[in-house]
Amino acid sequence: MEQYKQEFIEFMIDCNVLKFGDFVTKSGRNTPFFVNTGFYRTGAQLQRLGQYYAKAIKESFGLDFDVLFGPAYKGIPLTVATTMAISQEYGKDIRYCSNRKEVKDHGDKGILLGSPIVDGDRVVIIEDVTTAGTSIQETLPIIKAQGDVHPVGLVVSVDRMERGQGTKSALKEIEEKYGLKTTAIVTMAEVVEHLYNREYKGKVIIDDKLKGAIDAYYEKYGV
């Protein structure tokens, strides 16, 4: 596993973003692990997060695109942090854009925040995590309503590696249904590989009991 992926896994734990216990996902699944990017709360944390996203985007999609779109609300700081990181790390100036939950009817009108999306734009979508692929159904129509635009791909922080609406993984379903390439900074398999029965800061994060719960979850929802 690449060094930056190992660092990112530990970074998520340090920021209390990657948690283990008993949770319910947006899609209603009981899960022993949860990723909440809302716990990136400082400038230094967002700066590092943007760098990890930028590296994943560059490796999977390259930098030949125009706009990075992050769905409201969590996608807003992700787009800002990542476009700044792409500029700083790779010298490429990418526009950022997010949607509003409500259409604004005065001043800077419309549903978009940040850069407009115009005909011919190539757009990469950035999200925190995709479990069942439901959020992309809301995001793509907003982007495509802006004109003759070309959605290039979707990047998430963690690939949960579980079924979407059918028998395939959520990210694979998105690729096939919408023609979008997808990628993640890390997969849950890489998280387990890095943390299982290994001490981090004096504590074993994934012990045999937790590993059993994760395995049981994937028996039910995995691909």
Q: Where are the alpha helices (DSSP H) in the chain?
A: 3-14, 43-61, 75-90, 135-144, 170-178, 188-195, 208-221
- Catalytic residue selected from 101, 106, 109, 209: 106
- Rounded (5°) CA angle 36-67-173: 55
> Are 69 and 143 contacting, i.e. CB atoms less than 8 angstroms apart?
yes
Q: Which amino acid is at 150?
A: H
Does residue 58 have an active-site annotation? no
- Catalytic residue selected from 58, 74, 104, 181: 104
* Euclidean distance between CA atoms 166 and 51, whole angstroms: 33
Does residue 172 have an active-site annotation? no
Active-site residues: which are they? Answer: 104, 106
